[in-house]
Structure 1
Amino acid sequence: MVASAELVRDFVNTYDVEADADDLGTPSELALWLRERALAGPGDRAGDDDLALAVALREGLREALRRGPEPVELPLLPLRVTVGRRPELAPIGGGVTAGLAVIAAGVIGGSWDRLKVCAEETCQWAFIDSSRNRSRSWCSMRVCGNRTKTRAYRARKQGSRPRPGSNTDTV
């Protein structure tokens, strides 16, 4: 199974930075999330180690998206290279760690360069940049782009005003 950019995006977005809400707060929530995406079987259970691995993978992917071409080391996962029509990474075995391995393998593909993390520091939401020149910076121009631009505008305006207590009208 080859993971899509959408799957990688959705996995990174299981933690909402702004709301401090984690969809993978417990091992059972991790197992359920993977089962809902056919990445784990109905009998597969997750433990605390699996949850720690998932969080490390998620935050490693977020960091990689934030850094761009700078290398980021992701946690070790059971993957092998398969060569057929084109080389691919495939999970070894099954269960929760194999499901996480499918997500990690999703970074090897044509859409990784379209995945980004919102430039708004309070957001950090992953999104797929579908702009022609791949120049999008925010997950939403209406929300995050507007926040960033409003903050920059206010900072410029404050910088152009005389500071309180400064004597600007003396010659």
Structure 2
Amino acid sequence: MLELVRDFVNTYDVETDADELTSPAELALWLRERGLAAEGDRAGDDDLTTAIALREALRAGLRRAAPVDLPGVALRVTIDGTPRLTPMSAGVPGGLAAIAAAVLDPGWERLKVCSEGTCQWAFIDASKNRSRSWCSMKVCGNRTKTRAYRARKHGSRRLQGSNTDTV
């Protein structure tokens, strides 16, 4: 289920401003492709609004910037051994509820959002100590470290230029 949440959050690419969920039909198709909605299930404008709100609430929660508010999804607590959240309806609303219910899945703390501000891509942190910060060290990690290096260099040049001795 972590992969499902990751993929759902990544339906919007912050860096390129590209959104896979541009219409109710695209939402229904996305859910059908993942087995969360049946062939005849249709989405409406309200479903799309709920999906986008849920996606961004999950992104904020993964940044650990806010508690995860599950907007517009109907879930019930099922207790048959281990308590879990289950969708209260089928179709598109049930598919969205299934995504929201994944917040209680084991390993949720391994799901993160890239700390590079221009990226915000969701990823699963498989590192042993769960300390990964970027979706990709080669791209986002490198950007962040290069920016920090340049800022340090720029700051040291400014200090060197103002350090003149007068006699």
* TM-score, length of structure 1 as denominator length: 0.92
With over 3 angstroms needed to count, the CA separation of the structure-2 counterparts of 1:11 and 1:39, relative to structure 1, is same
Structure 1: segments with no counterpart, 5+ residues: none
Task: Name the residue aligned to 1:23.
Answer: 20
* Greater per-residue helix proportion: 2
Question: Please, which of 134, 141, 147 is the counterpart of residue 130 of structure 2?
Answer: 134
After superposition, residues 1-171 of structure 1 pair within 5 angstroms as 4-67=1-64, 70-162=66-158, 168-169=163-164, 171=166
Q: Secondary structure at the match of 1:120?
A: coil
Q: Offset at 1:32?
A: 0.2
**For 2:37 and 2:68, how far apart are their aligned partners in 1?**
26
Matching residue's letter, 2:28: A
Q: Offset at 1:167?
A: 6.2
Question: Percentage identity across aligned positions?
Answer: 67
Q: Offset at 1:140?
A: 0.2
Worse overlay, 83-92 or 124-133: 83-92
Matching residue's letter, 1:125: W
Structure 2: segments with no counterpart, 5+ residues: none
**For 1:82 and 1:34, how far apart are their aligned partners in 2?**
23
Q: Offset at 1:38?
A: 0.5
